[in-house]
Structure 1
Amino acid sequence: LSRLTFRGSSQMSLISHKRWALWRSCCQKLVFTRATMFQLGNTSIRRTRTNFAWRVNIFLRQLWSPPTLNKFVVKFGLRRKHTCHVNRWVRFCAASRARHITLDFTPGAKDIACGLADDKYIFPLHVSNGPDSSPVHIKSLHLGYVCLYTTTGFNAFANLKKLTLHKVSFLGDIQHLLLPECTALEWLSISCCSLPGLTLTSCQPLRRLHYLCLHYCYLKKVDLETPNLTSFDFINRPIPFALGESLKVMEANIKPLVRGTPYNL
C-alpha cells in the first residue's frame, strides 16, 4: 500500500477480475498513515481526519471481501467522533483474521496538550469476542490514545504474544480486561497510561513473558509472577513491584522519578 499513490490504488478497480483476485491474495499488509494516504507535496487535498477516514474506507471497500491479513496498521490522530469509521475497520480486522493490529490515534505535538480522555476512541473489545469472531488469531496488538472498557467475563486474546498500550485510558481494571487470559504474552509495554489506585497483576503466572516495560504510568503497584522474564524497563515514580522469582533477568533499566513528577498523559 505504501508504494501506491491514492490514484494508483483507485485505478486497480478497473483491472480484470482475475488480476484483481491475484492482487487481493498478495495484499497481506495494510498500512494507513499520513504518508501513505496523502501524496507528499499535494496541497489540493486537505489532510484532515475526515479525509483520512474517507480514503481508508474507499480503499477497504474495493477489496470486496476481506483478504487474510498479516498486518493492519492505522496511525492518525482520530477521535471518538470517528467511531463509526474505526469500528468498521476493527470489524474488517476481525473478518480478515489480521494477526498484527496497530491502532495508534496519538495526536501530533501541537494537539497533544488539548487532548481529553473523553475524546478518545473506545476500542470495542466485544467486536472480536463474538461466537464467529474469536480473537485467537491476533498475535500482537498496539493501541495508542484510546479507551479500553469491557464487562466482567470478557474472554480475551488467548494467543496474544505482544501487547503495547500507549496513552490508554482504562474504564475498568486492566487485570480484568486483558492479563488473566493473556497467558501467551511474551512482550508487554505500558506507557503514559493512567491506572490510579490499580495493582497491575494477573490471576496466574505469565510464564512466557520475557520483556516488561512500564513508563510514566499512574499505578499503585506491580505484582506479577514472571519466572522467565529476561528484560525489565521501568521509568516511573517509586512504587512497590514484585515479579516473583524472576531469576533469568539479564537486563534491568530502573529509573525512579521524583515523587510529584507530572506525567504528560
Structure 2
Amino acid sequence: MTIVETLNKTLLKNRTRDKICRMDVEVYKNIAAAYTRTENSIAVLSDMQMNTSYIFSSGAASGLGLSYPENPTVIDSIWEEEILMKIHPDDRMKKYVHELRFFKLLEDNRQEDRSAFCVVSRIRLQDKNGTYQWVRHRMFYFYSPDTHKLRFALCLYDRIADRSQNMLPEFLIINTIKGEVVAEDKFDYRSVLSQRELEVLNCVGEGLTSKEIADILSISFNTVSRHRQNILKKLNVKNSVEAFNGNFTKA
C-alpha cells in the first residue's frame, strides 16, 4: 500500500452513516473564502463525510497556472489533484507523510484540544511557466462534536515573498494557543539518499512497480532492486511503508 492509499484510507475511514455530523458546511466554506479574499491564497476545504472538496481561488492561482471555472469549484474527492500534481515530487511525498503524522498527533489528543494545532510547511509548486515557486502551505483539521471524527480539512496555499523564502521551515506542527512547536521535521532525505535513490523512492511512493520504475528511469530492473535495498538500509527501515510513514532513524 502506498503512502497516498494509506492516507486516503485513514482519512476516509472516519465516514459514518449511523451518526450524522451536524456541522454546517456553509460556515466552513465561508472561512475558506475569507482566507482567500484576505490573503490572496488558494483554499481547499475537504469534507471527509461527503468525500468532496471546495476550491476557492484568487489572483495567485492564475499566476501558478491554476484555473478554476467557479469559485468555489467543487470536486468529488478529498484530494486537490490539479494542485498536488504541480508540487515538486520530493515535497509532495513529504506533504503526504506529514499529513499522516498530523492526523495521528491529533488522534492522540483530546477532542477539545485538537483545534489548537495546525501545520505550516514550505513547498515548491510549479507555475504556469514550468518554474518551481516557493509556496507556504498550512493545514487545519476540524473534528465533529457529534461523531468525534475528522469532518473538514482546510489547506491553504499562498506565495512566499522572495526575501523570506529561507525563513520558513519545511515542516512544523504548531500549537497556536501556546505558541509552541510540537513537531518538527529534522530529517532530510536529501542528506542521506543519492539523487537516483530519491527518484526511485518517489516512484515507489506513487505506487509504481520496480519494472515501471526501471522503464521510466531507463535503468535495469536489477538496478532498481539494488536502489530499493539501499534506501531501506540508509533509512534503517524494514519496508517502504515504514519509510513513507516516517518510522525511520538514521543508521
The structure with higher relative contact order (CA 8 Å, sep 6+) is: 2
Bigger share in helix? 2
For Structure 1 versus Structure 2, the TM-score category normalised by the shorter chain is under 0.3
